[in-house]
Amino acid sequence: MSGMERRGRIAKRVSRFGKSAIHEMTRLSKEIDDVAFLSWAKPTSDTPEHVKEGAIRAIRDGLTAGYSETLGLPALREAIVAKLARDNGVRATPGEIIVTVGAIEGLSAAVMAVVDPGDEVILPTPTYSTHIRQVELAGGKPVLVPLIEADGFRWDIAATRAAVTPRTRAILYCTPSNPTGTVFDEATQLALGALARQHGLMVITDEAYEYFVYDDHRHFSLASVPDLRENVIGCYTFTKTYAMTGYRVGYVHAAPDVIAHIAKVHIPFAICAPVVSQYAALAALAGDQACVADFRAHYLAMRNLMCERLDRLDHVFEYARPGGSYLMFPKIVRDGGKTDSKTFCLDLLREARVSATPGVAFGPTGESHLRLSFCVPESEIHKAFDRMEAYFSAGSPRGR
Ligand SMILES: Cc1ncc(COP(=O)(O)O)c(C=O)c1O
């Protein structure tokens, strides 16, 4: 099919999108043997046994062939309500929860429910690229406010305030952040919440990495503030917490009148979340939570190792130590901080057999960075950094 034909037959809101740099790197990485793989943000551990058993039991008991209620299994929504109270300080009722196809479908449905064509949505840059696409798919205009990298990718509240216009409808961010690993603290989020109340905006939070915070950082859920209940839509997932990427199950929490509108989007998107996965999610919440602490301990150790190894490459990279998630976002300083991140990552892949994601995929201020994932075994980090040390060694042309 020619380009002309394609333009005529495919909607502009989709045809103008380029390929996702994240998936493109993954595809290219698969063409090369024995790659050290630091470019994919999914847990590499297997799903805990009690979660798998929950799914298997539900299948054997004949519970998974049909749809569930659109909002999700009542027992699962009860368990989510208990979890939100225990771990997030959020007082919810089952009627305020929709079980979704991962956090992604919840975010998409939330954005669709809130954003009209031409509306503006404020996001930080760098940020999770899918958020930007979700806004564009809804016909909205992403307004990207740079984080202050020199201060550990701190949120710039003054710049955010200045970015609000009569068309602004929402603020959308993830904490801990993909790709920077920044944990936006309580004071920062309260300032965003105050802006939202002042201007009648929605704050859509993506809390996918809520359990993976380190050092003295604490995860804070903005919906825990009673005065902000009407302004916050919180999106959560089982993907990261329980290594359940392929199960595709998460949930959204919002005030009942908002949930009713998001549910109207959830039906044409999904009807309901996969029922077998909802039973697995129920088993995840009901079972021993030691697996979550184990994952966290592993990611913390891998974060420390990756930082140590990066310290030995300080002629190539500078970095802010991530306080959360299992991702970090070093800046390429070798060429005076003006490196084309796509070319850099392609060279790194082809010449050093190390796969990383180009920073430009995460917004304009992501250029000259790369995203590295530390949700991998220790051996993978050593393999990648041994190769990078040789590649960037003082004797090599890349080391200069
Ligand atoms: C910030 C963030 N939100 C959402 C997702 C996707 O979550 P889910 O698998 O629950 O759709 C990811 C996956 O990488 C992510 O990094």
CATH number at residue 152: 3.40.640.10
Rounded to the nearest whole angstrom, what is the distance from the C-alpha of residue 104 to the centroid of ligand 1?
A: 6
Helix (H) / strand (E) element for 241: namely: none
Confidence label for 131 from pLDDT (cuts 50, 70 and 90): very high
Residue 398 has a pLDDT of 65
Q: Average per-residue pLDDT in the chain?
A: 94
Q: How far apart are CA 134 and CA 112, in angstroms?
A: 8
Alpha carbons within 13 angstroms on the beta-carbon side of residue 127 total 26
**pLDDT tens sequence across 182-236:** 999 999 999 999 999 999 999 999 999 999 999 999 999 999 999 999 999 999 9
Residues with CB under 6 A from ligand 1: 41, 102-104, 128, 174, 178, 206, 208, 237, 239, 245, 250
Alpha carbons within 13 angstroms on the beta-carbon side of residue 80 total 31
Residue 341 within a domain = yes
Would the pLDDT of 7 be above 80?
Answer: no
Rounded to the nearest whole angstrom, what is the distance from the C-alpha of residue 169 to the centroid of ligand 1?
A: 22
The CATH number linked to 385 is 3.90.1150.10
pTM score, two decimals?
Answer: 0.95
Q: How far apart are CA 100 and CA 107, in angstroms?
A: 9
User: What residues make up the domain containing 313?
Assistant: 10-45+291-391
Per the structure, the count of domains in the chain is 2
Same domain membership, residue 264 and residue 296: no
Give mean pLDDT, residues 361-384.
Answer: 95
Give mean pLDDT, residues 80-97.
Answer: 98
Residue 320 has a pLDDT of 96
Would the pLDDT of 109 be above 90?
Answer: yes
Higher pLDDT, 321 or 18: 321
Same domain membership, residue 196 and residue 240: yes
Helix (H) / strand (E) element for 305: namely: helix 290-311
